[in-house]
Structure formats: structure tokens, C-alpha cells
Amino acid sequence: MSTERGEFSSRIGFVMAAAGSAIGLGNIWGFPGQAAQNGGAAFVVVYIILSFIVAYPVFMAELTIGRYSQSNIVGAFNIIEGGKKFKFVGYMGVLAASLIYGFYAVIAGWMLSYVFNAIFTIMGFNEIAQWCIDSSSLLRNISFMGVFGLLTMYIITGGVKNGIEKWSARLMPALIIILIAMIIYVSLQEGAMKGLAFYLSPDFSKIGDGKLILSALGQAFFSLSLGVGTMLVYGSYIRKNENLPVIGALVTLADVGIAFMAGFLIIPAMFVAQASGVEIYAADGSLIAGANIVFQVLPELFDSLGAVGPFFALIFFALMTIAALTSSISMLEVPVAYAVDDLKLNRKKATFIFGFTIMAISVVLIMYMDVLFGLVVSIATQWLQPIIGLLLCIFIGWVMNRNQVLGELKQGYPEVENSFFYKIWPWFVRVICPVLILLIFYTTLFG
């Protein structure tokens, strides 16, 4: 193998990096928002079930293919016998990762812009603070996206150990501390209990709803960073003596756990905002959702806090930016690893080429926000991710030789053949996951 590839230095290094990828805006903002819209705890229950029965098996498929091939999502199909026909899946993965990075950097740029808004407000520079959050300014949108993109590229040029692993290990603990501190603060405020009651009382009438299930599946795939080749390439950097099913389960638990925890911050915070006079219901009577939670309700809440408001805003948006950064590096790593492994570029060059090309995509998304943004998000996350996940299941379940798969798992887990995991996982990737994914597509299209 080329020495350019790199490897995580330890188990904890991998867990931090993979959890850093998984835990992102999808957990802290997407999940609570979806739960608020889709019947509170009913959505939470469906999401948790799908995370373990569909997302975890697909996650394991990616880790196993990655570590076995010691390659990226395109290269893996060159290396594994029978893979040639599946090479298009690899290119789809690179495309999906690039599109997701393209829109994610725009949103992350907004988070960063609120960090600067808070800093300038604290310093008393109100005019420039206001410019930072002027959503109609093209220059503002492009500059903050650009700064975020450069940060991502900087980390990726550092490589696996000194870039991805080092920064994930620094930023993830900070993220968890900020999250817990904010949950404690918010739950002591007036209105928080109402939010908790809303979050934890399920509206089971919504549970059979096809849309709820598709949203929960999409959320689970997005949240675990599946179906784009991120986890596959991270898998290729794990040492051979690590137990894949166990570390996969740890990362899944961390991802689901943080999403669930973020619900204890965002939903009560909305009701705290309401108690201080902020409108949290839209004109049609439904709870405000999507971008408006983060960029309208919460800033109004921070404003209502008076002098300490900007400090809370700073901490909250720093949390969002950190979460976004440890995820965005894992997105950019997909095309970069492909370029390093297969196109034989050096890492710096690969990072510059793909980093700036995708930045151009982000600029286009900013300029044609109304027509393109939602479309690209839904193509990448609702279609490409689950379809690629499905194809990876079929590949590992039906095309890859059983002994190759078993042999790979055995490397860090010699008794795997007799484990509960190995009794059921092969059937999940062969039959249950593909059927469930297809069924969920079917109900959305025709149900």
C-alpha cells in the first residue's frame, strides 16, 4: 500500500473520528427538528429502531468493505473480486459526498457567521455584527462558506492521523461539554418542562405514516454518514486487530445518543423562547421547523436574555460549527482518498483540487438558492444515500465471497463466527435491509 494512505493510531482515535463524522448538524439540528415536526417521541422511537436494524448493518458493510480492500469507495471495487460491475456505485458515492459537502458548507458557513455576529456584538461593533447575519448578502454567504471550506481543507491536508484524528479528538470532547452545559442551563428555565413533555410524549397516530418512516430512515442514514463512502474509507484506516462489530456499535450508540440528547436542548429551548414571548408556531398552527429554529427562534431567545445573550449565542453557534467541521472533513475525505489511492495525486494537491471544485458548487448553490438548494439536498440525502447503501448491502451480501467477509471480521474478532452478530448480520445485509429500504421507497412513491 502507498505510504500516503495513513491509519488511525488507536481505537479511541477511530471512534472519535467516526463519531465526529456521524455527529453533526444532522444530530443537533436535523434530528430535534424532525422530531418536533413528526409527533415527538413517535419519531424518536422509529428513528432508534431503524438506526439499529437498518443503519447499523449498512455501517458494518461499509467498514468491512473498507478495511478488507484498504481503499476508498471507488478503489474498493477495483480491488475486490467481482467488483468491476459495481464501480458505478463508487462514483455515485463520490458524487453524493461532494454534493453533501457542497450544501453542508453553506449551512456551516451560516453557523460560523453567527459565531462572528456574537463576537462583534460583545465587542460593540454592531454594524459589522449585523452584516454577519444578513442572509440577503451574497458576499456574506460566500465568505463564511469559504472560510469554513478552508478550515476543512486545512485539516484534510494534515492526513489521517495528524489531521482527521487529531482534530476530531480535540473537538469532540468540547462539543459534548458544551452540549451538556447548555442542556442543564436550558432545562432550568421557565417553559423547559413544557418542551420536555412535548419531546417525550409520543403521538402514536403518526407512527404508521409512510412519510414519518422515510424521514426517519433518511435521518438515520444521514446521521451515521452512510451511503457516500465516508465510513468505508474510515474503515480502511482502522487497524486489522480492531473488532469491527464492537466499534461499529459504539459509534452507532454515540450517534443516536447525541441526537437524543440534542432533543433535550433544542425542543425545550423552543418552549423557553415561547415563555419569553417568541412565536414558535407557524401560521398554520404547526411548530416552527427547519432553518427557522436555529436562525430565528434561538437568536430571538438569545436576544431576550439581555447582556448575557451574545455569550450564549457564541457558545451555541460554536457548538454547531464544531459539529459541522468534524463532519465536513469526513465528506471531503471521500474524493480526496479516491484521488490519493487511485489517481495517485498527493494529498495536498487532491485536497486543493476537490476542495476548490466543491467550493464552486457551494457558490452556485448560494446564487441559485431558491431553485437548487432543496433539490440538491433531497437528491443526495433522500435518494443517493439510501440507494448506495442498498447497493453496498447487495455487494457484500451477494457478490463478495463469504470467506473474504468472514476472514476480515475474524481479524479483530476471532470468535465472530459463533457470535450473535454473525448469526443475524449476513441476513440483514442480504435480505432484510434491501427489502426494508425498497419498501420504504415504495411507500413514499406509491403509498
Residue ranges binding ligand PHE (CB under 6 A): 21-22, 24-27, 100, 222-223, 225, 228, 230, 327, 330-331
Nearest residue (CB) to ligand PHE, 121 versus 168? 168
Give me the least distance between CB of 392 and ligand PHE, in Å please: 14
Decide: 227 and 58 in contact? Cβ < 8 Å: yes
Residue with cell 409512510: 210
Give me the least distance between CB of 51 and ligand PHE, in Å please: 12
Give me the least distance between CB of 235 and ligand PHE, in Å please: 13
Decide: 223 and 263 in contact? Cβ < 8 Å: no
d(CA 324, CA 23): 8
Give me the least distance between CB of 8 and ligand PHE, in Å please: 17
Decide: 48 and 354 in contact? Cβ < 8 Å: no
Give me the least distance between CB of 422 and ligand PHE, in Å please: 27
Nearest residue (CB) to ligand PHE, 34 versus 274? 34
d(CA 91, CA 87): 7
Per-residue DSSP letters for 8-29? -SSHHHHHHHHHHHHSSHIIII
Nearest residue (CB) to ligand PHE, 223 versus 243? 223
> Looking at the DSSP assignment, which residues form a beta bridge with residue 35?
none
Closest C-alpha among 376, 387, 295, 363 to residue 92: 387
**Residues listed for the chain:** 447
Task: Give the max Cα distance, the chain.
Answer: 66
Nearest residue (CB) to ligand PHE, 114 versus 221? 221
d(CA 162, CA 153): 13
Query: What's the grid cell of residue 298?
Result: 434561538
Give me the least distance between CB of 331 and ligand PHE, in Å please: 5
Q: Amino acid identity of 5?
A: R
Decide: 270 and 277 in contact? Cβ < 8 Å: no
Give me the least distance between CB of 56 and ligand PHE, in Å please: 14
Q: Amino acid identity of 428?
A: F
Enumerate the H helices of 124-243 as residue ranges.
126-132, 138-157, 159, 166-187, 192-200, 210-223, 230-236
Nearest residue (CB) to ligand PHE, 141 versus 330? 330
Burial class (CB in 10 A: 0-12, 13-18, 19+), 205: exposed
Residue with cell 444532522: 26
Nearest residue (CB) to ligand PHE, 121 versus 327? 327
Give me the least distance between CB of 373 and ligand PHE, in Å please: 16
Give me the least distance between CB of 24 and ligand PHE, in Å please: 2
